[in-house]
Amino acid sequence: MTDTVHILLVDDDPAEYLIMGGIMKKVTSAEIHLHFCETIEAALAFIQSGKPASVILMDNRLQPQCDFRETVPALRQQGFIGPIGVISSSLADPYFQKFEDYGADFRIDKAELDPTAIEFILREYVTKT
Amino acid sequence: MANLLTNHRRYHLDSDLEKALNRVDFFRIFHTMSLRHGFDHFGILQLGNEGDACMLSHRLVLHDLPSGLAEEYDKRHRFGDSVVFKTLHRSVIPSIWKADDPHLGNGSNLLAQLGFDMLICVPVTGINGARYAVLFLGDCEEIAKPAHFELCYDALCAFDYFYRLVLSNKAGLGLTPRETEILRWISHGKTASEIALIVSVSEHTVNSHTATILKKLDVVNRTQMVAKAIREQIIQ
């Protein structure tokens, strides 16, 4: 029997939702329900509503100016204690070295997010918790 | 990484290795390395003693194999009987295996049993002498000598960072401010989920810090952890 996993993607680009949805469909180890929020406010409301989220994938930069140093602590303040991964098209900025200080669990480049990486993340953060 | 000199870091000064912090970072590094060299998957295997009963799924400390593959293998085969596992205990020379290799035998052909055509084994060692092997699996047909050398060097370096940062026993090392903070909340009787809420991290992170504190204080459970921390005046 395949486990059901709820992943919340927070990204200001709806195209990423389509791309991510395609990747998630190729994951065979779990039945993934991908939820999507375009803004941090919508993500906070999602958590507050009590809807399930096993993992949150948070785009580093949300327009107009937020990056994960503001958004991840906001999710934690809302009481979310599940894993949060920061996704970005570039992890080169030095502040990424401090991601754990801001309450994030891991970081991953958008280009590295393939079905194998998703399965690894689920093994590491979902099946063990 | 602070305790390495530039003599060690000639090719990795600006690389992801220098920036890696946790298991996901090392997953990314080994996964990318594997794809870059034309392989599909990697696995880092803890070797242990040859005579010990062993299962592939228990020996893999990090891997990107399809979920359940190692567990399915263990249901049907004995990893300790495989020629690959046995030879890893006889030599530290990196080796290349192919599914139709006559040396692999019938009942002990790890590659055929896992469903891959090619395997490269790079034996590696932690700084305390603990033995591991980095495995690369795929359906490629051949690897050229320079590419093989490069892969071995890259695997050796990445494993060294992985071992020092993630696998090594950190007994005797000091606690970080975050670890001390979590230890203090544990001593106040808080659960992992309560601590996660208090310090604004995930429950997974709290458990991960707790495991590191256990290692650093060289204790086996939370009770002994708190007792030792009070005894050594890490907390009041």
User: Which of B201, B206, B210, B212 is most worth mutating to test chain A (most A CB atoms within 10 A of its CB)?
Assistant: B201
Whether residue B164 is predicted with pLDDT greater than 70 in this model: the reply is yes
Nearest residue of chain B to residue A83 (CA atoms): B202
Cβ–Cβ below 8 Å for A84 and B202: yes
pLDDT for the residue A55: 97
Please, what is the average pLDDT of chain B?
Answer: 89
A73-100 burial code (b ≥16 CB/10 A, e <16):
ebbbeeebbbbbbbbbeebeeeebeebb
Q: How confident is the model at residue B133 (pLDDT cuts 50, 70, 90)?
A: very high
Instruction: Extract the tokens encoding A25.
Output: 């469909």
- CATH fit for domain B16-167, picks 3.40.50.150, 3.30.450.80, 3.40.630.30, 1.10.1050.10: 3.30.450.80
How many separate domains does chain A show? 1
Q: Residue written as tokens 């071992």? A: B163
pLDDT at B99: 86
Which residue range is the domain that position A57 belongs to?
3-126
Among chain A residues, CA nearest to B65: A116
Mean pLDDT throughout B125-148?
A: 92
Cis preceding linkage at A64, omega within 30: yes
CB pairs under 8 A between A and B: 82
B129: tokens are: 């002498």
pTM comes to: 0.87
For chain B, give every domain's residue range. 16-167, 177-231
Q: How far is B203 from chain A (nearest CA, A)?
A: 6
% of chain B surpassing 90 pLDDT: 61
Distance from CA of A67 to the nearest CA of B (A): 17
Nearest to B212, CA basis, from A100, A117, A68: A100
Residues in chain A: 129
Give the per-residue pLDDT at A128: 46
Q: How far apart are CA B44 and CA B32, in angstroms?
A: 14
pLDDT at A127 over 90: no
Predicted-complex ipTM score = 0.86
How many CB atoms sit inside 10 A of residue B119's CB? Answer: 23
Q: For domain B177-231, give its CATH number from 3.30.1330.10, 2.10.109.10, 3.40.50.10140, 1.10.10.10.
A: 1.10.10.10
Query: Is the predicted pLDDT of residue B2 greater than 60, yes or no?
Result: no
Asked if A62 and A12 count as a contact pair (C-beta separation under 8 A), the reply is: yes
Q: Which of residues 25-84 of A touch B (CB under 8 A)?
A: 28-29, 73, 76-77, 79, 81-84
Query: In which band, very low, low, confident or very high, does the pLDDT at A129 lie, cut at 50, 70 and 90?
Result: very low
pLDDT in tens, A97-117: 999 999 999 999 999 999 999
B66–A28 C-beta distance less than 8 A: yes
Structure confidence by residue, pLDDT tens digits, B53-97: 689 999 999 999 998 899 999 999 888 888 899 899 999 999 999
CB A104 within 8 A of CB A86: yes
Instruction: Categorize the per-residue pLDDT at B10 as very low, low, confident or very high, splitting at 50, 70 and 90.
Output: low
Crossing angle of helices B192-199 and B203-217, in 10° steps, is 110
The predicted structure's pLDDT at residue B100: 84
Residues, chain B? 236
Token pair for B203: 């429950």
Answer whether residue B15 shows pLDDT above 90: no
Instruction: Say how far apart CA A9 and CA A20 lie, in whole Å.
Output: 8
Pairing label, strands B41-46, B131-138: antiparallel
Q: What is the pLDDT of residue B14?
A: 58
Q: Residue B13: is its pLDDT beyond 70?
A: no
Give residue B199's pLDDT band: very low, low, confident or very high (50, 70, 90).
very high
Residue B197: count other Cβ atoms within 10 Å of its Cβ: 17
* CATH code: domain of residue A97: 3.40.50.2300
Contact (CB<8Å) A100/B196: no
Residue A71 has pLDDT above 90, yes or no: yes
